[in-house]
Chains A and B, each alone.
Chain A
Amino acid sequence: MSVHITTTYDVEAIRADFPILKRRVGGYPLVYLDNAATSQKPRQVIDALVQYYEQFNANVHRGLHILAEEATDAYESARAKVAQFIGAEPTSLVFTRNTTEAINLVAYAWGLVNLKQGDVIVLSEMEHHSNVVPWQLVARLTGARLQYVPFTPEGELDMEALERALQQEPRLVAITHVSNVLGTINPVEEVTRKAHAVGAKVLIDGAQAVPHKPVNVAQIGCDFYAFSGHKMLAPTGIGALYAKPELLEEMPPFMGGGSMIRKVTHEYSTWADVPTKFEAGTPNIGDAVAFGVAVDYLQQIGMEAIHQHEQSLTEEALRLLEAEEDIVIYGPRDARERCGLVSFNFKHVHPHDVAQVLDRRGIAIRAGHHCCQLIMRRLDVTATARASFYLYNTVEEVRAFYKALDDVRKVFGKYGGR
């Protein structure tokens, strides 16, 4: 378990592991505050990729030579590491391309079989499009109905509305663990308990949670949990789905092909054991191996320490932005209720323009709808600006970001008060 690492949190030592952080942009040191979109990669993860391709690249679960054996060991050991990282058994962890593919896997393999005309799927209005659109597609195919739970003006999940939605006895509740726009940490344990009480299955979108705080799926009790590697120091193209073993056993395959079969005849086939049943074709071996190394890296620092570091950055960002009369902040005001990101808008400047002006100082933030058009509609905006932090960001970077907002006022401010 994590001890009190916070006092010894050495952000400079961490930064030294990330080659890209030495980059300069437009003459300024890069200040990378777009971590909710994707994280940067430490030397250890980059090296793991090179090592895999230089020393033991081979296909897995087939071939009787030494390289195939080493590649298979590395791939399965990465699965074990990633599973253990979220408190799961390796057999209940399926490698996918990303969170989106993991949710689609559940929507098609579980949803098409288990949903029928009139069934209710409960989603929140905080969801990323990746936890909305797959359910829309499957609802269209099965005749199921979507019921949305709104969020409160404070940016928290409306628990009373959730209770009302649960009275409709939904088949599934699919909800995000941490909002990628509001930063809100949702009470997923409570949601799972309440959903299970009415017989619903629960899927949690953990894309913004697993990289930033300790997560234990056994403790949450959910049926499905989806997350991406690239937001937690691993390469793009690798993610994971946790599912309860009995569900993986009873679900039909998502995709058919090599690897996922036991026996193929002219008429039909039988399936490999889980989780291989859900990994058709040659998997993304190299990136999976690097995913395992990313998890090692995070664990070495400690997820609780990372979470506290990010919360201190968030607290500073909130403190600075709150004092500005021309800025609106979205999401909970208390940094303790958030993961490390802050969405905001200037009252009179479009977020694209804010991001463009900050880019001139080498400061990378995101502006847009963040794949959350339902949130944008609720906030009555078309887009927000978002600064999102990670383990290697510093309080000086947060202040540099804040200071650069004055450039925005210099370009647009003279016409202010429109």
Chain B
Amino acid sequence: MVDDELYREIILEHYHHPRFKGALTDANLTADGMNPLCGDELTLYLKTDGDRIVEARFEGRGCSISQASASMLTEAVRGLTLEEVKHLQERVKAMLTGAPHEPFDEDDDLSALEGVKNYPVRIKCALLAWTTLEEMLEGKGWH
């Protein structure tokens, strides 16, 4: 099957080989997310040094879109400051909801998520990790 709009090769690749999956025991930021409509579950772990993220991991169960999106998140936020992460999170959210945003480069894995916006019921799947991140940052007063 050709690379299709929703199930992009890179999404499937992240789904089958999630980058940083598993608990992070020395995380100083954790948050749980759930999509009550479909039962998808997610726990996000971040470890920061000052205001910079040095480690990010996730645990969860869910569909290819929600898991791939979480995997991409853990890869993308490493090395960013909390402020940069907040900016990234807003950009991804805007992309997924079809709002104006600074587009991602084609070679950035996150760009593969753009097709999800044409599948309204799946947007929540792709957003799960990013909404969990948003709530985590809000909990720290970063909003």
Contacts and interface: CB of A to CB of B under 8 A. Distances in A.
Contacts of B41: 382
Interface residues of B, number: 22
Given A350-B62, A352-B125, A368 B1 contact: no
Given A350-B62, A412-B12, A368 B39 contact: yes
A251 B32 CA distance: 43
A25 B110 CA distance: 30
A411 B62 contact: no
Given A411-B1, A412-B12, A353 B39 contact: no
Given A376-B39, A411-B7, A350 B63 contact: yes
B122 A382 contact: no
A350 B6 CA distance: 15
Given A350-B63, A412-B12, A383 B119 contact: no
Contacts of B122: 352, 356
Interface string B4-36: 101100001101100000000000000000000
A373 B39 contact: yes
Contact of A352 (B4, B13, B16, B63): B63
B16 A418 contact: yes
A308 B61 CA distance: 38
Contact of B61 (A382, A412, A418): A382
B38 A352 contact: yes
Contact of A356 (B6, B37, B61): B6
Contacts of B65: 352-353
Q: How many A residues are at the interface, by size bracket?
A: 10 to 19
A128 interface: no
Nearest to A360: B4
A350 B37 contact: no
Interface string A365-392: 0011100010010000011000000000
B111 interface: no
Contacts of A4: none
Contacts of A407: 1
| Chain A interface main SS type | helix
Residue in A349, A350, A368, A369 whose Cβ sees the most chain B Cβ within 10 Å: A350
B39 A369 contact: yes
Given A410-B1, A415-B12, A415-B16, A382 B64 contact: no
Contacts of A350: 62-64, 67
B40 interface: yes
A412 B63 CA distance: 12
Nearest to B37: A368
Interface in B87-143: 119, 122, 125
Interface in A72-131: none
A9 B61 CA distance: 44
Contacts of A368: 37-39
Given A352-B125, A415-B13, 10 more contacts: A349-B64, A350-B64, A352-B38, A353-B7, A353-B63, A382-B62, A383-B38, A407-B1, A411-B12, A412-B12
